[in-house]
Structure 1
């Protein structure tokens, strides 16, 4: 919240956050003389004070799209504007470091806390997509899939005699492809079983209090995997519901409730990890920002530049990063949105190099040579 800029209150008369107590609703939580956190994010203030939280302003994609679908794809592929890239930037990292990780550690190097893999983790390297609780906790259903992949590849004659029938030469390629699919299925079931077993392991020490909502459960399960030391390197959580075109609210309302859920669970995650938080980085981002000016329905529309949070790890928090544009109309993108002064690919590359210790090779981000974000680590 840019509380020090009077134009912020001109642009958002109905949904702005008061600069100090005595106004309407809870006031901004000040970080410095210019910026503050939404009052619903109070759980994150101690982490900012301890230099574990680094907000980045005016970050995003240089592409002009305001389509949720396109912007989300471009962000997760790390390739703004491309319609041909089909492997996510995190999957490219996993694939490039596969040999160094070793086969055993690779079993649970990455998880997505959703039934459908996000595009950032799609690609050649196999990643576990965790189904919803109903499917995950249905042992009979998982056993059924296990049986299908173990026995489904055999023809009737093979089951009875144990001998493999000769296949026509023109079918050999098809059989090999079929066998590959079945092997992938078997590997997925085994990894899912292992994941369930990890969640059931007793944890030493006291656990933090997470929310009972879907996001809270996901963050708790990720923390469990990290504490279990199973080689987890990458985890993804998708949190929807931020498209507030109508009745966005200010210190209270729909957005405030979601921000509280976000902030409280992120704080619980870092607390639950304890010393492991020093080697764990949380990157919170969105596909684009919102319009600087509220619309006629006391909401905001699709914008351009936005804000990101980095928490934990070796991040140099305690300060707001990024080049702030100001809110004067002449400084806004198309006279309505925050500009993008920090390309998220630069943040991706800096995270990979400084936190993951992976030097990004040429061509990793198609048609783009990333620059290190100075002072982030």
Structure 2
């Protein structure tokens, strides 16, 4: 790889593999509210929250951690206002006392919150306005979960930047990603340059998966998989990824390392690879390199799709995990290409109907497709050019899926949101 691209790939991993506590859409709301509270610096008497449909969809049914089991947009706002530590960003409500949980409920009981759905060109769009006794403030996040693009106090604009411009300035260009360079980068990267972020992903995500398998979380998808199908490595790979989601979607307060703005995607991209590495007694370096493949393959797919969509992000991560497993077991560039295309051909129709316990089931199905895609390749089988959305060349198929989800599923997304909110 060119030195410039090598550096960009390292930076992409650093930008994407960051910790978050709780489902990232409620946490983005809490972060926005916490920042707005800081700007306001006044006793709050009312709140107005403008949100895009995908925020409504992804906040409606998921438990906001550290709130005592509360769900929904008002709870996310209340958590950020009462207990948010803004500088902690996606861990903004990671440190909440029992007293603050009581104060949240009191604040929600006395503070009117107006929720205004908006039509936005950005799937992720949040604007929190807090009205105090003497002042008012407004903060907007758009494009991705921590991207503050507007700050206002008492009708004076304190900060403003276009969403595209701020994204370009904040994030490294993802269009540089491709499967061939991902493979070469994983083979040749100096491990010491990425070891810390990858080890943190292993530690955090494996811990919450174990919690999901051990205790009473969600719909128990991880536990059911192991109970029903046994402990074959293919089953365990699905079970651990699903169990992490079981816990996280139901309010578990353990942090995870996300991928493409999503904890579910971060767990799905990493846990199956970790399970396979343990099963096959792979070295830590072999695991790190395989995780590079799985994470970057996930990010590559998500680049064409967007952070939020009607297309289930677990699919991208499950196929990414399949590619990571293929690499871990000695697969070359061709193995990655065929695993990617085969997996996408199987499950690219799964929709996203918000964050909630059933995400764990979709994760299990997506990981299964990624693994099957690899074993199809191992047995000399493949889905071929012209069959459905599959095109000759892995990058062409990835582009097809991106267009399907980004453009073709816009109306699907609107209908999903309408059905969820009726």
For the criterion TM > 0.5, the same-fold answer is: no
Q: Is the radius of gyration larger for structure 1 or structure 2?
A: 1
Give the TM-score normalised by structure 1: 0.26
Higher RCO structure, 1 or 2 (CA under 8 Å, sep 6+): 1
State TM-score, norm by structure 2.
0.24
Task: Give the structure with the higher percent helix.
Answer: 2
